[in-house]
């Protein structure tokens, strides 16, 4: 799946040491299916050569508004009209000021000014020293650029080439790639606050052992990413998994079912959509041992009592906010057989408008899946695909099912 297939990106480089990251960014955009036209300022050429960017983009690099390669000698018009978006990475403090004031003394600034603003969006990835980033002039400039319709992708925090540490680093290439991909996704959940649970839970038997399951959390993390791409504010409550947090998602890590219940009940108070993908343990030991349980030589396992965990999905679905329609709840069912029957029964038992079923053993730990959507009118299958593709389909389904009051 190439998320940027068919997209044509003009990648602008301005002067800054972060130009070295632009090489990897260009490669990543091309690998994701985009065609990339590089335009460099004179200052950018002091940090990275046009030859490098030409090799990575497979297209001639432009740097002058007087470039005679264009038959009409209007590169600033031609290049901007061909683009699905202009991405400036790195974007220096000086170039941000140029954009703000409509300066047009080189090809890149001229092209940005001449672009059809209603058809060709402008995205910038700032890169500068921490003092420059926090300077009142820069703060004013970026606020006005956003007001003018520019998308400012933010900055990273950490060590800087000057030896100082703080905000202002250009985001890493893969972070920028995710932001560009997200930019082009339909914003069907704009204004929504989505709560997602993901992964397994771990119920301690003793300090080193516990009861858990094979859930990897990948489906839940994909849904969190897809919801964020769709414009929602997203909180992800995750059991013990080692997956990276999706860009722009608030993550809350938990261990046990009781930990997860407490977190979800708390964050459900501000959510408008709850998607329960976590594989929560049904039972836990009545009492976890303080020390590791040792074999006693009898050949018999220790006697262990269990108590049932609170049903998290049913608890949230029966809350006043869910019952009033302010919180739309979606459940998940990971089954080993008879998926339709079990998913249908679970939807009725949990009291949720939409239940998503899958065959657990066929998907645990994998990057692909197939889903069965069960609601009051019946069932419909989302055929086998990557989990991210399915997550995006599911997000679109949820958006189309929301009560009118939530739109």
β 122-126/85-91 pair status: parallel
Burial-class residue 240 by CB neighbours within 10 Å (0-12, 13-18, 19+): middle
Of 77, 92, 25, 91, the C-alpha closest to 53 is: 25
Joined together, the tokens standing for residue 111 give: 């092209």
40, 50 Cβ separation under 8 angstroms: yes
Q: How far apart are the C-alpha atoms of 347 and 367, rounded to whole Å?
A: 25
Q: How far apart are the C-alpha atoms of 61 and 66, rounded to whole Å?
A: 13
Q: How far apart are the C-alpha atoms of 18 and 127, rounded to whole Å?
A: 7
Q: Is 329 a catalytic residue?
A: no
CA atoms within 13 A on the CB side of 115: 25
Give me the numbers of helices (H) and strands (E) for the chain, helices first please.
Answer: 15, 19
Strand, coil or helix: 119: coil
- Catalytic pick among 26, 112, 162, 329: 162
Query: What is the DSSP track for 128-182?
Result: --HHHHHSHHHHHHHHHHHHTT-EE---EEEE-TTS-EEEEEPPPHHHHHHHHHH
Strand, coil or helix: 18: coil
Name the β-bridge partners of 86: 10, 122
Joined together, the tokens standing for residue 324 give: 């009033």
Among all residues, which ones are annotated catalytic?
A: 162
């Amino acid at each position: 799946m190439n998320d940027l297939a068919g997209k044509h990106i003009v990648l602008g480089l301005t002067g800054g040491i972060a130009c070295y990251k632009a090489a990897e960014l260009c490669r990543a955009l091309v690998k994701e299916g985009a065609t990339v036209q590089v335009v460099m300022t004179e200052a950018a050429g002091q940090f990275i050569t046009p030859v490098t960017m030409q090799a990575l983009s497979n297209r001639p690099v432009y740097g002058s508004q007087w470039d005679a390669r264009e038959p009409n000698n209007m590169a600033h018009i031609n290049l901007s009209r061909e683009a699905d978006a202009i991405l400036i990475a790195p974007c220096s403090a000086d170039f941000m000021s140029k954009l703000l004031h409509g300066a047009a003394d080189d090809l890149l600034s001229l092209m940005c000014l001449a672009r059809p603003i209603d058809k060709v969006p402008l995205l910038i990835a700032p890169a500068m020293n921490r003092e420059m980033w926090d300077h009142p002039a820069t703060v004013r400039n970026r606020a006005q650029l956003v007001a003018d319709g520019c998308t400012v992708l933010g900055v990273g925090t950490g060590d800087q080439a000057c030896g100082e540490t703080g905000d202002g680093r250009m985001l890493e290439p893969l972070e920028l790639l995710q932001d560009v991909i997200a930019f082009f996704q339909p914003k069907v959940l704009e204004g929504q606050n989505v709560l997602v649970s993901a992964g397994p839970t771990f119920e301690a038997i003793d300090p080193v052992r516990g009861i858990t399951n094979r859930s990897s959390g990948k489906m839940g993390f994909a849904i969190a990413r897809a919801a964020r791409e769709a414009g929602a504010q997203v909180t992800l409550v995750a059991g013990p998994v080692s997956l990276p947090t999706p860009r722009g998602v608030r993550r809350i890590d938990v261990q046990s079912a009781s930990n997860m219940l407490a977190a979800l009940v708390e964050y459900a108070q501000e959510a408008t959509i709850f998607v329960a993908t976590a594989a929560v343990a049904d039972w836990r030991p009545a009492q976890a041992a303080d020390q590791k349980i040792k074999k006693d030589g009898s050949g018999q396992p220790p006697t262990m009592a269990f108590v049932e965990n609170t049903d998290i999905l049913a608890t949230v679905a029966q809350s006043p906010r869910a019952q009033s329609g302010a919180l739309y709840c979606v459940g998940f069912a990971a089954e080993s057989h008879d998926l339709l029957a079990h998913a249908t029964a679970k939807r009725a038992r949990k009291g949720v408008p939409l239940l998503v079923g899958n065959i657990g053993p066929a998907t645990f730990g994998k990057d692909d899946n197939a889903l069965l959507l069960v609601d009051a009118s019946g069932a419909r299958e989302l055929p086998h695909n990557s989990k991210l593709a399915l997550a995006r389909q599911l997000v679109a389904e949820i958006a189309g099912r929301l009560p009118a009051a939530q739109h």
